Structure 1
């Protein structure tokens, strides 16, 4: 079988398996939510509400039906791309919640990824090009420490130092409460402010975005540092690199023009999956910085036992991860001709 046909067969298989993966995730979330203690009706009416009123609301929301009936209704709605309606936000569908909060999460994820790539790749190159030196040891320590530090603790520490003590950045939120945020089609404050040529709003959005993005970006930069360091170190020992050195080419040019290109192939894989994970895994950072993103909204929904919102947001994030993994496999196959499926 030719390489192109093998790739097409692999992509088709992944696309066929994607609904199965999403169904598994949706089923697990459905069951786990109902297995944990707590009642969403208490979040709506309060724990001291009359039991008769609770039962009335429970029947209206369909929570009084047997578990298997609720499951079949939920799966039937998913097949129609209906994620349901929030239990705690009157009349607001889960799709409307995603549309409202996802741009903030996307914005902080992209900015954090940019910081992570710049810092991680830079430290990784410095570490790999100076083996067995203090630069190498420092790079390895940087990767281990940033990867292991808890996000909420680092976030609070950054707030304490740079917002409270130094006053360089705001404590949190996405835009000043007293100011009018940028209005536009994307929901991304940085993009919408540029589209309207309002540079004051743009710099304000960057100002509020800086501290959470730097915090989250530095924490995940250790992943890229370790990958770049290991792969670049192996590449610098390859025969073609030794041949380039024998021809008298400068070491910096060898690293940047020859070795780094091959060492970056695994980074592309990790970059795509990390960005997909960032979209759903930035809960602690968003909560710490009071960032009005979808991950923060998911945290609130979990606290309020809002079943449809939690299920819908988790399935939405899972779909992003599944789609990202398929796109990364395709991209890698075109970038690296050595890959076979």
Structure 2
């Protein structure tokens, strides 16, 4: 039987301030949906931090519960898709954006958002991966689909100490690629080496500010989590027939380059979105994470926190001070 109330990390607006607090909510306050889930774990993403600090481009209505990822146990399902006790996960769609999200003991969501937890993953492992892992997997899948193999050459990963970057480094290394990781954190080289990076470069080394339309071709593929001029430099530095995946914009939304990399080197630029990815494709990638793409070093990537710890970690992720993934242990 579902409880009448639950604890949640809630954000309320008071004039121009956004107040974050762990409060008790009534189950009657949950949005309409097919499936009621008792959340065990979530994760902290940059998007969650924006939602928790009143970023109108992410969340428009408050009070609100952020959390774009959730893993837990089905309590009720009016769709007939699942049974009480089934382990499930939800990432993306509108969860934690304008629908109350995973930073709560209970969520209610449409059946179209919910996947069964693969047998080879624990709820905690699924949330260390979360949206970041799904995004990294889409990047790697795009490289493979465009005939980029370990023998093709080195793969550049920008923003390598972030959530998507860390998981991309680990996954690419597992698949046998030579990974060149980019970071501005000089004290995290050992961390990246442990994940499988063969070489580590500073941001300055891959941020060319000249107006050259092409640079020396160095990369068979790129996983870019930053955007802006770092992405433009990476594209201009990609070798003939290479593939660049783009999934971030913290470095800016402008892309200062010419068409030369595309028409003279045949470089492919692939945009990556995991938010509205069809459920069938999600399920395939989650299955791979539980089987042939299973990462055995997830604990090295994650820091575990509770709901009451979130304000500190939200501030840290906004300041670029978080390395790897932040796993949120929701269940009390």
Q: TM-score range by the shorter chain?
A: under 0.3
Give 1 or 2: higher strand fraction: 2
Q: Select the structure with the greater relative contact order (CA < 8 A; seq sep ≥ 6).
A: 1
* Richer in helix (by share): 1
TM-score by length of 1: 0.25
